[in-house]
Amino acid sequence: MTFRNGLASLLRPEDSVLVLIDHQPYQLANVNSHEPQMVINNTAGLAKAAKAFNVPTILTSVIAERGGLLFPQITDVFPGQEVIDRTFINTWEDPKVVDAVKATGRKQLIIAGLWTEICVAMPAIQALGEGWDVTVVTDASGAVSVEAHNVAIQRMISAGANVMTWLVVAAEWQRDWARTDSAAKLTEVIVQHAGGSGIAFLWEQQLLNTPVPKT
């Protein structure tokens, strides 16, 4: 096994490309590994973080005519962008998707989708075999059961995948709070999608702007 370690193994926005796969109503209807609203929230947060860091994002669905359109919480982040609709279950067998990824010139491939055990595992394992540096965002993905999700994650790790949650992806892209341009954009995403952390930040701002009582 080749261990993933060292500074160079961390995600860099200039080397990253994000692929969001099949976040559609049909798939969401049988997600039981996570609370469905959490998956929507986390995926929207991931999409907004990618936009904040100028990470190219490929949107793809499978037979949208029957399975439904991608969640508007995702497509609204990228207004007017084409959603690549496939018939292939395995996204990485669709030349249009692969060509779109290759056109970015990036090699850190980040994947999230529904379902983890099928529509994430298949492309992740194939891309790993072709030499891509693959990261799977586990909490912006979901499966038909906790077991299915966990087994899929174990399977992808065994194949060489890196796994993390959406906020960790954003933190690795940021890396240094002195990068003020992206820090401001990321903070806005945190406020909207990072739950208690976002609320705590707003509270902190409230306290900093509260006049000190005169004694």
**Does the annotation mark 119 as catalytic?**
yes
Q: Report the alpha-carbon angle 132-133-137, nearest 5.
A: 120
CA distance readout (Å), 4 to 7, 80, 92, 163, 205: 10, 37, 23, 11, 38
CA distance readout (Å), 69 to 22, 66, 91, 149, 209: 9, 9, 16, 23, 43
Beta bridge partners of 18: 57, 110
Q: Annotated catalytic residue: which of 31, 101, 114, 119?
A: 119
CB hemisphere CA count around 18 (13 angstroms): 31
Active site residues: 119
